Structure 1
Amino acid sequence: MVEFGDFKCPACAQFTGVIKPQIVQEYVNQDKAAFYFVNMAFIGPDSETASLAALSVYHQNNDAFWTYYDALYANQGDENAEWATEDFLVSLAEKEKLPVDLDLLRKDIQERTYESELQNDISIAKDTGVTSTPTVFINGHKVDKPFDMEAIDAQIKSASEAVSAE
C-alpha cells in the first residue's frame, strides 16, 4: 500500500488521523500489508522543507519516521501560511523525543541533503499520474475513495486473493 501525500495538505492530515490508524491496526500490525509513503510536495515551499526534514529523520532512524510523519500532520499549520520552518521542524522532532541527531536534522534541512530523493518522489508521483493528495494505491491499483475504509478493505481483500491465486 502506497500513499502519495504532502505534509501541508489538510486532507492528508485527515487521512493520517482517521484512515491510516485503521490500516495500521487491521493490516500492517497483522503483517497482512506494508504501508509506504511517497512525498508529493506541491502545495508550497514549506511542503518541500517538511519533506526534507521527514527524509532526514527517515535516514537517521526509519522507525522514528512514522512518529514524525504522524506528528507533522497532527501539528500541521494553515495550508495558506508558511509554518514548516526549519525551527518548527527541529523543535517538533525534539518535542516528540525522536531518537535522532537534531543538529544533523537542522543541517540536512539547511543543506537540502535529500533534495534529489525528494525530486525522485515527486517524479514518481508525476509518472504515476497522481494529481492530488492523498492518493493511495494497493498493489499498483489506485484506491478510488481513500476516505472509505470499507472500499479500502474490499480492495485489500481483492488484492490478497489475486496474490493467493498466483
Structure 2
Amino acid sequence: MKRSNQSVRRRNRRIAVAAGAVVAFLGVVLTAQLTNQQGPVAAPTAPAASASAGGARTGELAFVRRQHSDPMAIGDVDAPVVLVQWTDMRCPYCAVFNRETLPVLRREYVDTGKVRIEVHDVAYFGQHSEDGAVAARAAAEQGRFFEFLGAVYQDAPDKGHPDLPRERLIAFAEKAGVPDIERFTADLDDSGLRAAAQASNSEAARLGVTSVPFFVAGDSALSGAQPTSVFRQYLDAAIAKAG
C-alpha cells in the first residue's frame, strides 16, 4: 500500500508541475496580449479583419497564424479551432505524437474541417535540433514539411535524442519525397531559414514553453504526448467553446 501511495503522490506531483507550466505559459501570453508588448510574438495592434484575410481572429492569441499557403500548417484556414504545436526534431515524445496521435487527429478533426494544426519548431536539444528545424523548413520550401517530419519521427528511437547530421537530413528529405534534393541541400545553408528557426526557438522560450511537444487550442494548453483520448476531449472542448 505504501508503494502504491508513493506512486500516486509522484503522479500527482507531475500533474501539478505540468499544470503550473501551463498556467505560467498562458499568463505570459495573455499578459503580452493585454500590454501589447513588442517582440517575437507581438500582439496585434488591432483585431484581425477575418481569417480569410490571414492572421489570427479577434480573441485568438497572436501566435495563431491562419495564413493561406502556410507550409507548416494543415487544415482549413477558417476552421473553428487552431491547434498550435511546438515540436523539436530530436524529441522522442514529439515522435510518439506524430506517429500515434497525429494521424487520428488529421482524420477526425482536420479532414472534417473542425481543426487546423499549425507547427512551431524549437531547438531544445542542441545544434542538431536547430539543424533539423532548418531542414524541416527547407522541406517546407518545397511543400513537404509534414512529410519530412513524418520521415524524421518514424525513424526516431523510443528514448534519447538522435543525431541529425547533414547526410541523414538529406536522406530524410529523399524519403519524404522532396522533389529537388539539390535545392534542399543548398537550403540547409540558407541564413534566412536558420534565422527563422532561431527566432521560433526564442519565441517559444519567451512564451514559457519549456517542454515539448506542447499545444495550445483556444485559451487552454496541453503538454506532452498524451493519449489520443485526451486530445479528443481537449479538442472537443475547444470546439464547443469556439461555438
TM-score, with structure 1 as normaliser: 0.87
Q: C-alpha offsets along residues 36-83 of structure 1, whole Å, 9 cap, x if unaligned? A: 11111110211111110100111222xx2111111111123673553x
Alignment partner, residue 67 of structure 2: none
The question of whether the paired residues in 1 share the 8 Å contact of 2:214 and 2:221 is answered with yes
Of 139, 163, 178 in structure 2, the residue corresponding to residue 57 of structure 1 is: 139
The question of whether the paired residues in 1 share the 8 Å contact of 2:134 and 2:188 is answered with yes
The question of whether the paired residues in 2 share the 8 Å contact of 1:39 and 1:118 is answered with yes
The question of whether the paired residues in 2 share the 8 Å contact of 1:145 and 1:151 is answered with no
Alignment partner, residue 216 of structure 2: 137
Q: C-alpha offsets along residues 88-122 of structure 1, whole Å, 9 cap, x if unaligned? A: 111221233323x2112111113444112112211
The answer to whether structure 1 residue 150 and structure 2 residue 232 are counterparts is: no
SS of residue paired to 2:215: strand
SS of residue paired to 1:72: helix
- Larger displacement relative to structure 2 (151-160 or 136-145): 136-145
Q: Determine the C-alpha separation between the residues in 1 that align with 2:102 and 2:113.
A: 15
Alignment partner, residue 70 of structure 1: 150
Of 84, 87, 90 in structure 2, the residue corresponding to residue 8 of structure 1 is: 90
Unaligned runs of 5+ in 1: none
SS of residue paired to 1:143: strand
The question of whether the paired residues in 1 share the 8 Å contact of 2:136 and 2:145 is answered with yes
Higher relative contact order (CA 8 A, sep 6+): 1
- CA RMSD after TM alignment: 1.9
SS of residue paired to 2:211: coil
The answer to whether structure 1 residue 160 and structure 2 residue 243 are counterparts is: no
Q: Determine the C-alpha separation between the residues in 1 that align with 2:156 and 2:227.
A: 23
SS of residue paired to 2:156: coil
Q: Which amino acid aligns with 1:87?
A: E
SS of residue paired to 2:116: coil
The question of whether the paired residues in 1 share the 8 Å contact of 2:90 and 2:162 is answered with no
Alignment partner, residue 41 of structure 1: 123
What does 1:21-40 align with in structure 2 at a 5 Å threshold? 21-40=103-122
Q: Which amino acid aligns with 2:207?
A: T
SS of residue paired to 1:104: helix
Shift of 1:123: 2.1
TM-score, with structure 2 as normaliser: 0.61
Shift of 1:150: 2.3
Alignment partner, residue 96 of structure 1: 176
Of 154, 160, 180 in structure 2, the residue corresponding to residue 79 of structure 1 is: 160
Unaligned runs of 5+ in 2: 1-82
The question of whether the paired residues in 1 share the 8 Å contact of 2:212 and 2:224 is answered with no
Larger radius of gyration: 2
SS of residue paired to 2:86: strand
More helix per residue: 1
